[in-house]
A = this chain, B = another copy of it.
Amino acid sequence: MAVYTEVSDDELRDFIGEYDIGEVVSIKGIAEGVENSNYLLQTVSDPDAPPQNYILTLYEKRVRPEELPYFLGLMDHLANGGFSCPTPIHGRDGAALRELSGRPAAIVSFLSGMWPRKVTPQHCAELGASMARLHLAGADFRGHRDNNMSVSGWEELVSATQERADEVVPGLSDTIVNELEHIRLSWPSNLPQGVIHADLFPDNVFFLGSRLSGLIDFYFACNDALAYDIAICINAWCFESDASLNITKARALLRSYASVRNLSRDEYDALPRLARGAALRFLLTRLYDWLNHDEAAFVRPKDPRQFLDRLRFHQQVNGPGAYGISFDDLNG
């Protein structure tokens, strides 16, 4: 679940009074997401019209307040460019970010759609095209945020988890240290850069029927190698529960991406290294949460071992062809 902060009647009324969105007629905490408190908010401006839906987010301690203007500015930029994502609602004073119940808070538009509980190759194809459009739409965004979940961030997480990693899987500490060493030496540094989502797991991608309706949750977005976003999606969308790669899904993802944004030879060749890095990144954060989760937060930590399996897969591939498509077929 994800409602950490309770909002009182008076605080909510004062907060909503800063916006031109009418009167609140319903507010319900949403039991999804693990980082922030999210509420479904319904308001009525015209008593004869049906309620309008919004999402009210209170940013909890994992989000750094000084980074919120980047995230909200990015959503504004993308939505203004016609990309389907939550749009920050601005108050009468022009601000999208204010305070509620002692937390930074914002209201964004409600996005219809459901995230796929069971991923199909068609979902992966839709995802690939949408991610490529995101990368193109982000090109002229003027904000900048370093990816704090890249190599230097992993080094910190390795230090923080090394001592107890073997409690989860015997030998895990050595595996991680060796992998980090390998990545340090081989991490690609000259790939095309831009705005990436950096957390495009299925629960952040909405569909209406078989068509993608929009992306949500931009609170890990940052500037990094665009192809690293693809590598995250290969990890997040293309593996089956038995830890095998579904090549049909990976091929659909890559081909569809390349049909919207051309993938360079360097980007294609870097995929196995990027995929190892992405697997290590989620292995480390899940491991950290597993070892340090707060019982009082009532969040069930996700099993880190899934990403150990994915890491092992990427360690063993011969080259990017393992993801189901050759470079010539990709751009052909």
Contacts and interface: CB of A to CB of B under 8 A. Distances in A.
Contact of A114 (B24, B30, B51): B24
Interface stretch (A5-13, A88-96, A172-180, A184-192): A5-13
Contacts of A235: none
A64 interface: no
A124 to B, nearest CB: 15
A112 B25 contact: yes
Chain A binding surface SS class: loop
Given A3-B1, A40-B40, A298-B300, A26 B117 contact: no
A246 to B, nearest CB: 17
A112 B298 contact: no
In the complex this chain forms, how many copies of it are found?
2
B8 A112 contact: no
Nearest to A208: B25
Contacts of A51: 53, 112
A13 B32 CA distance: 20
Q: Contact size class for A?
A: 35 or more
B298 A9 contact: no
B117 A7 contact: yes
Contacts of A25: 112-114, 208
A61 interface: no
A22 interface: no
A209 to B, nearest CB: 8
A9 B299 contact: no
